[in-house]
């Protein structure tokens, strides 16, 4: 066997996250407040960076002149007239309270593709939640008060249970924890059984008993217990702090001359420039501070470029979202199903870039202030290219089950076949998933069971 050393040339393609790329990615996912804090830190750490007050002063001067002219125009009239058709934007519109779990849920309800009656039912249900996020009122009682079928109430409860915070609108702690598991993509019969029957043992840390009664190893039981303990039994409490919080919109949508215009809010972000004194030192390579200044200059330039790139990316992404959801902004119609992938294709950006561009950011619109991520709605596309939301798909599944033969219920595959013949591209597994989310049992359990057909 011969061992020796040799040199080989090899060519390959690899994606390397340079410091500059890491900075651009970091800045993109920051909201306006976080970006402002980061810039303030950089102004302290990097002496080559300084505020560019020139542009701000020019802008302030222009605004002062405009305000003065408007002030004079006000006194040209003999009396003050109020135009009630002209929208007044109160500064209080920019104030929210973290205590308002109910307002946060109603905002999500407003963006859901449902009709007016279902929205009224949803608002009533949300008002019935306690401060922990639990629904204490019985479905039958809600049904009687609103004079609607209880199945319709159940449908809206299932919808609200998909909202943030995860686990909200549960009727029990068991349901609350299982909802959070499903939101994490965990669907495990054993862990659900532990939640439903052995929460006391989980609290006591009785791993041996949990493992024995579920036929699993102690290691697996410990893993399940740790997952359960990571869940929040009171999802509404985090919104109960009695503190006023001001929302600074990252993006502003205005209707100007009949067209919607998207602008990124730069008012709270300091304008930056390179310090002129240090700029001169970079020309003198013999200067002892040359290497230090060169390094800091490179960092300063990349920060300024990354901020500009962030503005362009956010504007491009939000403009595409607004164009796609135009019916909502223009007519107040329900939002259409929309995914990160669709926006990525429209903007020629990667899905992860789109996700970072909307993360934790708010948009101020003529219809109010919304979190941008709420404009993404799950759904599927029909064979004709029409977008169908998951709520409409669930309604159709419920209609098919309602009309089936009670002695010979349809299987999930048969339901999928019916919907596919109607042009709805849906798989058996998707039907099963939606059916379970609506708390409708399988065909074997529905057979000759009349209570599941009073829809």
pLDDT tens digit sequence for 364-380: 999 888 999 889 877 66
Is 50 exceeded by the pLDDT of residue 71? Answer: no
Q: Determine the average pLDDT of the residues in 331-335.
A: 81
- 18: buried, middle or exposed (CB in 10 Å: 19+, 13-18, 0-12)? exposed
Is 50 exceeded by the pLDDT of residue 74? Answer: no
Residue 9 to residue 384: CA distance in whole angstroms: 53
The predicted pLDDT at position 324 comes to 92
Is 90 exceeded by the pLDDT of residue 125? Answer: yes
Structural domains of the chain ordered from first start: 91-246 (no CATH), 276-374 (no CATH), 380-453 (1.10.10.60)
Least reliable range by pLDDT among 31-45, 88-102, 225-239:
88-102
Longest CA span, the chain? 106
Torsion of CA 148, 150, 153, 154, to 10 degrees: -160
Residue 313 to residue 350: CA distance in whole angstroms: 11
| 357-361 contact pairs (CB < 8 A, 24+) | 357/28, 357/29, 357/313, 357/314, 357/317, 357/318, 358/317, 358/318, 358/321, 359/29, 359/31, 360/29, 360/31, 360/34, 361/31, 361/32, 361/250, 361/251, 361/314
The predicted pLDDT at position 201 comes to 86
The predicted pLDDT at position 88 comes to 43
Provide the sign of the torsion angle of the four alpha carbons 345, 351, 354, 358, taken in this order: positive
Q: Determine the average pLDDT of the residues in 291-310.
A: 87
Q: Determine the average pLDDT of the residues in 395-414.
A: 89
Please give the angle made by the CA atoms of 263, 267 and 269, to the nearest 5 degrees. 105
The predicted pLDDT at position 449 comes to 67
Helix (H) or strand (E) holding 306: helix 290-324
Q: DSSP letter at 424?
A: B
Least reliable range by pLDDT among 249-258, 290-299, 445-454:
445-454
pTM of this prediction exceeds 0.85: no
Residues present in the chain in total: 455
Q: Which residue has the higher pLDDT, 58 or 180?
A: 180
Q: How sure is the predictor about 78, in pLDDT bands with cuts at 50, 70 and 90? A: very low
Q: What does 48-64 look like in DSSP terms, one character per residue?
A: TEEE-HHHHHHHHHHHH
Q: Determine the average pLDDT of the residues in 154-182.
A: 92
Residue 87 to residue 65: CA distance in whole angstroms: 23
The predicted pLDDT at position 83 comes to 43
Q: How sure is the predictor about 334, in pLDDT bands with cuts at 50, 70 and 90? A: confident
Q: Which residue has the higher pLDDT, 231 or 53?
A: 231
Percent of the chain topping pLDDT 90: 28
Is 60 exceeded by the pLDDT of residue 55? Answer: no
SS3 sequence of 13-25: CCCCCCHHHHHHH
Which tokens go with 28?
């993109």
The predicted pLDDT at position 452 comes to 56
Is 90 exceeded by the pLDDT of residue 263? Answer: yes
Q: Which pLDDT tens digit goes with each residue over 342-367? A: 999 999 999 989 999 998 899 999 98
Least reliable range by pLDDT among 33-47, 58-72, 73-87, 146-160:
73-87
Q: Which pLDDT tens digit goes with each residue over 145-158? A: 888 998 999 999 99
What are the phi and psi torsion angles at 49 (to 5°)? -90, 140
Is 80 exceeded by the pLDDT of residue 307? Answer: yes
């Amino acid at each position: 066997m011969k061992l020796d050393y040799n040199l080989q040339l090899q060519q390959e393609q690899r994606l390397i996250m340079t410091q500059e790329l890491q900075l651009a990615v970091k800045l993109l996912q920051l909201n306006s407040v976080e970006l402002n804090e980061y810039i303030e830190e950089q102004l302290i750490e990097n002496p080559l960076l300084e505020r560019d007050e020139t542009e701000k002063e020019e802008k302030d001067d222009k605004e002062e002149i405009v305000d003065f002219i408007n002030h004079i125009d006000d006194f040209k009239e003999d009396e003050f007239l109020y135009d009630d058709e002209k929208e007044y934007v109160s500064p209080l519109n920019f104030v929210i309270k973290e205590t308002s779990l109910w307002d946060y849920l109603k905002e999500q309800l407003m963006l859901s593709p449902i009709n007016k009656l279902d929205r009224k039912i949803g608002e009533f249900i949300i008002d019935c939640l306690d401060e922990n996020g639990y629904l204490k009122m019985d479905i039958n009682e809600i049904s009687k008060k609103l004079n609607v079928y209880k199945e319709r109430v159940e449908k809206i409860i299932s919808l609200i249970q998909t909202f943030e915070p995860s686990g909200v609108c549960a009727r029990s702690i068991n349901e609350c924890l299982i909802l959070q598991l499903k939101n994490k993509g965990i669907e495990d019969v054993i862990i659900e059984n532990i939640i439903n029957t052995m929460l006391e043992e989980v609290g006591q840390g009785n791993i041996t008993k949990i493992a024995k009664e579920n036929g699993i190893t102690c290691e697996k039981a410990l893993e399940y217990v740790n997952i359960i303990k990571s869940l929040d039994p009171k999802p509404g409490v985090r919104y109960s702090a009695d503190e006023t919080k001001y929302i600074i919109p990252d993006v502003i949508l205005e209707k100007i001359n009949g067209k919607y215009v998207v602008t990124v809010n730069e008012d709270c972000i300091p304008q930056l420039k390179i310090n002129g004194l240090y700029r001169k030192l970079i020309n003198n390579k013999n200067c002892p501070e040359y290497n230090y200044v060169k390094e800091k200059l490179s960092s300063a330039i990349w920060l300024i470029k990354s901020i500009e790139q962030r503005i362009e990316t956010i504007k491009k992404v939000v403009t595409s979202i607004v164009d796609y959801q135009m019916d909502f902004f223009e007519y107040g119609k329900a939002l259409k199903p929309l995914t990160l992938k669709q926006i990525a294709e429209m903007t020629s950006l990667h899905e992860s870039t789109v996700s970072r561009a909307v993360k934790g950011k708010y948009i101020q619109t003529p219809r109010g202030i919304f979190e941008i991520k709420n404009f993404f709605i799950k759904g599927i596309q029909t064979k004709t290219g029409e977008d169908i939301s998951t709520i409409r798909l669930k309604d159709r599944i419920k209609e098919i089950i309602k009309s089936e033969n009670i002695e010979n219920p349809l299987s999930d595959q048969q339901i999928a076949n019916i919907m596919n013949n109607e042009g709805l591209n849906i798989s058996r597994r998707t039907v099963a998933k939606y059916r379970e989310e609506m708390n409708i049992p399988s065909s074997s359990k529905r057979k000759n069971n009349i209570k599941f057909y009073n829809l």
